[in-house]
Amino acid sequence: MTPQADLNPLLTTPRLRLEPQVAAHAPAMLAVLADPRVHSYLPSNPPTDPEALRGRYERLESRRSPDGSELWLNWTVFRDSAALGTVQATVHPAEHLADVAYVFAPAAWGQGYASEAMQAVLEHLRATLGVQLFRASIDTRNVASQRLAERLGFVRVAEVKAADEFKGALSDEFVYERTAAPLG
């Protein structure tokens, strides 16, 4: 089995440092997640309880789902000392499949940070964990996320009606996939 440190390692890119997410990142991430625009197309709302967020990150430090069958990998993305966002991968080892997601603070949008961070995570998942297929489920209204997925080489493969609970209603999602061939 891959050692814990190698599952969710520190990753670096020309501009960014992706630190394995830990409870100590909760205050910085609380600030990132405080802006309601972040949650426009997510089922979540801005977190209000710092201790609850810290507790959630602490549980995620196990890097596994409660039943142990999935890897739950999370990184906090920093530029210098500023936390810009987070990247998440749910790895289904038996299927060589990873579901990926990303959330960045509005101040960091439009500068290629999400794309740069995601490329590093996809390459890690492919090269170190043997993932062969990446998948992203994106609200049909979330054009910025769809553009990012397409820039990363993802292709829309399905539309799922009423896919997720969304603030008292149901939301539709597009499913995007990308094989894990090296980028570029």
Ligand X SMILES: CC(C)(COP(=O)(O)OP(=O)(O)OC[C@H]1O[C@@H](n2cnc3c(N)ncnc32)[C@H](O)[C@@H]1OP(=O)(O)O)[C@@H](O)C(=O)NCCC(=O)NCCS
Q: Which residues form the interface with ligand X (CB under 6 A)?
A: 38, 41-42, 101-104, 109-115, 138, 142, 144-145, 147-148
Shortest distance (Å) from residue 3 CB to ligand X = 30
Shortest distance (Å) from residue 104 CB to ligand X = 4
Query: Residue 57 or residue 102: which is nearer to ligand X going by CB?
Result: 102
Shortest distance (Å) from residue 146 CB to ligand X = 8
Query: Residue 109 or residue 166: which is nearer to ligand X going by CB?
Result: 109
Query: Residue 8 or residue 171: which is nearer to ligand X going by CB?
Result: 171
Shortest distance (Å) from residue 27 CB to ligand X = 19
Query: Residue 46 or residue 130: which is nearer to ligand X going by CB?
Result: 46
SS (HEC) of the chain: CCCHHHHCCCEECCCCEEEECCHHHHHHHHHHHCCHHHHCCCCCCCCCCHHHHHHHHHHHCCCECCCCCCEEEEEEEEECCEEEEEEEEEEEHHHCEEEEEEEECHHHCCCCHHHHHHHHHHHHHHHHHCCCEEEEEEECCCHHHHHHHHHCCCEEEEEEEEEEEECCEEEEEEEEEEECCCCC
Shortest distance (Å) from residue 85 CB to ligand X = 6
Q: Which residue is nearest to ligand X (CB)?
A: 112
- Using an 8 Å Cβ cutoff, are 134 and 100 in contact? yes
Q: At what angle do helices 50-60 and 26-33 cross, to 10 degrees?
A: 120
Query: Residue 41 or residue 57: which is nearer to ligand X going by CB?
Result: 41
